[in-house]
Copies of this chain bind each other. A is one copy, B any other.
């Protein structure tokens, strides 16, 4: 499947975005959830480094370009409804979260 076909297959929301789950390719930790637009998907596939669309800054976000914590793309999946992406990555520096945590999901709700 070339990128043009993929972009036609995927379903974007009313802002032209699709949610992306990012998982460590080696130990399978879920690292973060973010959003891509068509440009971010294209840049991710062309460069092999994950790009998102920053909703807060409203700009293309080459993850790790500033921090060095880039995400090298290992596998790219989309779901049964073609409205969610899953990328498996090598997380350089082993830190995905802007807080310095490995994963953004470090806050756990205790169960009764």
Q: How many copies does the complex hold?
A: 2
Instruction: Tell me which residues from 89 to 112 in chain A have a Cβ below 8 Å from any Cβ of chain B.
Output: 97-99, 101, 104-112
With both chains docked as a complex, state the minimum distance between the C-beta of A99 and any C-beta of chain B, in angstroms: 5
Which residue in B21, B32, B45 is a CB contact (below 8 Å) of A109?
A: B45
Question: Is there a chain B Cβ closer than 8 Å to A12's Cβ?
Answer: no
Contact: B79 with A32, CB < 8 Å? yes
Number of interface residues of A (CB under 8 A): 37
**Which of chain B's residues have a CB closer than 8 A to the CB of A81?**
104
Contact of B109 with A1 in the complex, beta carbons under 8 Å: yes
In the complex, what distance in Å separates the CA atom of A5 from the CA atom of B77? Answer: 35
Closest to A101 in B: B80
